């Protein structure tokens, strides 16, 4: 697969930066998802009954952070093991949550784009093609693992 030490470092460093303002970046992340795919709003239980993206929703924050952290962990694993090892139970759980919520394959591209835009926003001039490539690669591996699990549960 070829995930380098440099790529791993880039992913870790950028997460360290975004982590400093979780409320801001989790909201940005989420808003980007809805900007790209407004219809995705209906998928999220914590949004269905509100007109706009809730500004201080603990669930939204926690989930957004998890997506970033899991992508970060995936980067570490890709470098260390050359493959993605998400605990089976976690993967099963995520597979079933997403399947039940009505998430479909193309949504994963939407979330990827939103994640990259959020990194760009947070990193400013530190954002570049190398950073984008590293996060993309890690995200794609994680997304594939979840999508594969979703197909097994159908």
Pair of tokens at residue 149: 């699990």
In degrees, to the nearest 5, what angle opens at C-alpha 142 toward C-alphas 140 and 147? Answer: 90
To 10 degrees, the CA torsion angle through 15, 16, 20, 24?
A: -10
Least separation in angstroms between CB 6 and ligand ISQ? 27
Per CB under 6 A, contacts with ligand ISQ among 48-67 are 60, 63-64, 67
SS3 30: helix
Q: Are 134 and 141 in contact (CB under 8 A)?
A: no
Q: Are 119 and 135 in contact (CB under 8 A)?
A: yes
CB closer to ligand HEM out of 59 and 126:
59
Interaction of residue 29 with ligand ISQ, rule CB under 6 A: yes
Size, binding site for ligand HEM by CB under 6 A:
23
Binding span for ligand HEM by CB under 6 A among 2-10, 20-28, 40-48, 126-134: 40-48
By a kind-dependent CB cut-off of 5 to 8 A, residue 97 interacts, out of ligand ISQ, ligand HEM, none, with ligand HEM
| CB-neighbour burial class of residue 45 (10 A; exposed 0-12, middle 13-18, buried 19+) | exposed
- Site pattern 81..120 for ligand HEM (x: CB under 6 A): -------------x--xx--x-x---xx-xx---------
Residues lying near ligand HEM in the complex (CB under 6 A): 40, 43-46, 59, 63, 66-67, 70, 94, 97-98, 101, 103, 107-108, 110-111, 139, 142-143, 146
């Amino acid at each position: 697969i070829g995930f380098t030490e440099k790529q791993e470092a880039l992913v870790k460093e950028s997460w360290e930066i975004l982590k400093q303002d979780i409320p801001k970046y989790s909201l940005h992340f989420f808003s980007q998802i809805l900007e790209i795919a407004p219809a995705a709003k209906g998928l999220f239980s914590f949004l269905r009954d509100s007109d706009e993206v809730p500004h201080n929703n603990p669930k939204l924050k926690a989930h957004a952070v998890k997506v970033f952290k899991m992508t970060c962990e995936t980067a570490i694993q890709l470098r260390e093991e050359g493959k993605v090892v998400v605990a089976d139970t976690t993967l099963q759980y995520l597979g079933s949550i997403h399947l039940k919520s009505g998430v479909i394959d193309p949504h994963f591209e939407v979330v990827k784009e939103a994640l990259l835009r959020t990194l760009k926003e947070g990193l400013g001039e530190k954002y570049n093609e190398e950073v984008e490539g590293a996060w993309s690669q890690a995200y794609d591996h994680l997304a594939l693992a979840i999508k594969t699990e979703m197909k097994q549960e159908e």
